[in-house]
Structures are given as structure tokens and as C-alpha cells.
Amino acid sequence: MAERKAFLMRIDPVLWAELEAWAQDEMRSVNGQVEYLLKQAVARRKRGGEGGAPVVREPQDTGGGG
């Protein structure tokens, strides 16, 4: 099996709580849930987005403060 890439991510605490609850519902870790969701999103994008929600682009975090 290929080596997995590790990375750090900053996430809003409210979103974290939602992901944590969702992951528990599906018997996954939060890490596993995020990876699952990302795989689904990438697959949907490759298919041209059919059946998916509209793409919402959020502003990029410039790391300027906070």
C-alpha cells in the first residue's frame, strides 16, 4: 500500500464538532471522515459535478491575522 501523506489543517471548532458527530454516526474517525468526503468530492469533480451541490467558493485565508 502506498505511503499516506500527513498534513496539518486549521478548522473552525463548530465545523470540527459537526464533522466529529458525523464521523461517529458513520463509525469513522474524524480523519477517516474527512478523507472519505474529500474522495467523494474529487470523484464528483472528475465526473463533471453531476448530482452534486453547486460549488461554493469561500475566500482564501491569507493568514493575515487572528
- Which segments of the chain does DSSP mark as H helices, in order? 13-25, 30-46
Residue 62 lies in a domain: no
CB 57 within 8 A of CB 63: no
Structural domain that includes position 24: 13-46
What domain count does the chain have?
A: 1
Rounded distance between C-alpha atoms, residue 44 and residue 49, angstroms: 5
pLDDT at residue number 1: 72
Tens digit of pLDDT at every position of the chain (66 positions): 789 899 999 999 999 999 999 999 999 999 999 999 999 999 999 998 765 555 556 666 666 655
Residue 1 lies in a domain: no
Residue 30 lies in a domain: yes
Tell me which residue of 3, 22, 14, 58 sits closest to 31, measured CA to CA: 22
Residue 17 lies in a domain: yes
pTM value is 0.66
Residue 22 lies in a domain: yes
